[in-house]
Amino acid sequence: MTSDIVFKYFPDLTAKQRSQIEQLPELYNLWNSQINVISRKDIDLLYERHVLHSLGIAKVMSFLPGESVLDVGTGGGFPGIPLAILFPETQFHLVDSIGKKIKVVQEVAKALGLTNVKASHLRAEQLDEKFDFVVSRAVTQLKDFYPWVRGKFNKDSENTLPNGILYLKGGDLEQEIKESGLKVQQYHLKDYFSEDFFETKQVIYVKG
């Protein structure tokens, strides 16, 4: 398993960022052996299926210094941890309803020296905070997800897209998008990454 797949698509990383990316397999192997946050079959594909997939959001949106991002249902820290490495001047709040997963996130963030990551054991619905963007992957359908984060967006936005949700999804999304009743923008990750895994993967943007 090599980090080259990440560096190929993100060639401008600093030495510190490259080193943080390179530390991920060891950290996740260690923590996954104690608390299962990544399926066993996926851990060998950590860079493609978790790190690069998470960074798909960065192909759509470059978070600005000082912006705040909420990762809902972060599990072991995806997409929040790879994004926090990529955008060290953006503040990331990673939340999950399962406490032991948050423990993994806190330990990984600490080991990497990520000072822009806060991780909390709570349900997204309980949060009383506002953010510029919300990111997520593999948590629930858009129609259920949107009400959890409605009203949690800062009004002022300075980025290329207005403040909103950037959700990593895969497969045929037509029905899910229709049922949500939301107006979405779809970004296909196969336009950025050539590996088969990304063939049907998308970033779904919804204005907050």
Ligand X SMILES: C[S@@+](CC[C@H](N)C(=O)[O-])C[C@H]1O[C@@H](n2cnc3c(N)ncnc32)[C@H](O)[C@@H]1O
Per the annotation, binding residues for S-adenosyl-L-methionine are 73, 78, 124-125, 137
Shortest CB 151 distance to ligand X, Å: 15
The piece of 120-128, 173-181, 186-194, 200-208 that touches ligand X (CB under 6 A) is: 120-128
The piece of 13-21, 91-99, 109-117, 188-196 that touches ligand X (CB under 6 A) is: 91-99
Shortest CB 158 distance to ligand X, Å: 27
- Token output for 1: 């398993």
Q: How far apart are CA 39 and CA 169, in angstroms?
A: 18
Query: What contacts 124, CB < 8 A, 6 or more positions away?
Result: 70, 72, 73, 95, 148, 149
Considering only 49, 93, 101, 169, the residue that binds ligand X (CB under 6 A) is 101
* Gyration radius from the chain CA atoms: 16
Q: Which is nearer to ligand X, 140 or 154 (CB)?
A: 140
Query: In the range 142-171, which residues lie near ligand X by CB under 6 A?
Result: 148
- Regarding 97 and contact with ligand X (CB under 6 A), the answer is yes
Work out whether the CA dihedral 71, 73, 75, 78 comes out positive or negative: negative
Shortest CB 32 distance to ligand X, Å: 12
Shortest CB 146 distance to ligand X, Å: 12
Query: In the range 55-74, which residues lie near ligand X by CB under 6 A?
Result: 72-74
What's the per-residue H, E or C state across 117-182? Answer: EEEEECCHHHCCCCECEEEEECCCCHHHHHHHHCCCECCCCCCCCCCEEEEEECCCCHHHHHHHCC
The CA angle 173-174-176, to the nearest 5 degrees, is 65
The site for ligand X (CB under 6 A) is made up of: 72-75, 78, 95-98, 101, 123-125, 137-139, 148
